[in-house]
Structure 1
């Protein structure tokens, strides 16, 4: 089976770069289009989290910085794909629910494969924080390739 559209989720980490490399290689081998996705969280605005209150202008500035960094990340993946003759669509999604955003983007762009890294949380951190990769694996109806 050959893939036509491969969604590559990245967060810029070393491990997700491995997923980007494999996703682009699969796209090249199968002649698929790739969708490079970075999910950007919204800035927490709760006064009950123990942090200092932040001015709205500062929140907007921080969110813009995060968005600009995310756009630069997916643009770099797009350039790497272009250098290999692969069509790559660069997508930035804003959501606090990373796994759901990945699944929604895969559906929206009609991806037939999701490629992402396993961040390998273990023990208490995994129990407390959960795993975005695990959530995608258990909730996606689209095949998922996880790289470690």
Structure 2
């Protein structure tokens, strides 16, 4: 059925549930898991005329974010090893999270994308949007959403 499953994680409790389901599904179907964490780019300036951070400080923050991302995907790899499921941990740097998820899914030739819905409602959803909704809308690959 599935040969390769991409699971998008941000290390949150809800995304960890998606990880558990992806690994369980991979275990049942004999699929490989691609664990993905999208790391945002550090904004160089917040507004015109603002004080920009020194390049060294920006580099330190980006390194911290990359280290945290690697920790999140390596945790998925460790969870997969417990169930003898092969997990490929990857991180991608992008401000467009949904597009990065879809691009990674295509690049890694996955059969299914598994991700959590963070369940924002009302004005928060309107203002913040939903990365999950964007993936559902624009992906040609099946998406399993967990709430």
**What TM-score, normalized by structure 1, do the two folds share?**
0.96
Report the CA distance shift for 1:50/1:83 in structure 2 as closer, same or farther (over 3 A). Answer: farther
CA apart distance, 1:53: 2.3
2:121 paired with 1:119: no
- Rounded to whole Å, the distance in 2 between the matches of 1:116 and 1:131 is 12
Q: Tell me how far 1:52 sits from its aligned partner.
A: 4.4
| Map of 1:101 onto structure 2 | 100
What secondary structure does 2:7 align onto? strand
**Corresponding residue for residue 17 of structure 1:** 16
Q: Distance in 1 between matches of 2:134 and 2:47?
A: 27
User: Are the counterparts in 1 of residues 45 and 51 from structure 2 also a CA contact under 8 Å?
Assistant: no
Two-structure CA RMSD over aligned residues (Å): 1.3
Task: Report how many residues are paired.
Answer: 147
Alignment match, 1:38:
37
Once the two structures are superposed, the pairs formed by residues 125-136 of structure 1 within 5 Å of their partners are 125-136=124-135
Structure 1 ranges of 4+ moved more than 4 A: 49-52
SS for the counterpart of 1:48 is coil
Q: Write the deviation string for residues 62-96 of structure 1: whole angstroms up to 9, x where unpaired.
A: 00000011001101110110121100000000000
Question: So what's the TM-score if we normalise by structure 2?
Answer: 0.96
3-state SS, counterpart of residue 79 of structure 1: helix
* Residue 57 of structure 2: aligned partner: 58
1:68 equivalent in structure 2: 67
Are 1:26 and 2:45 an aligned pair? no
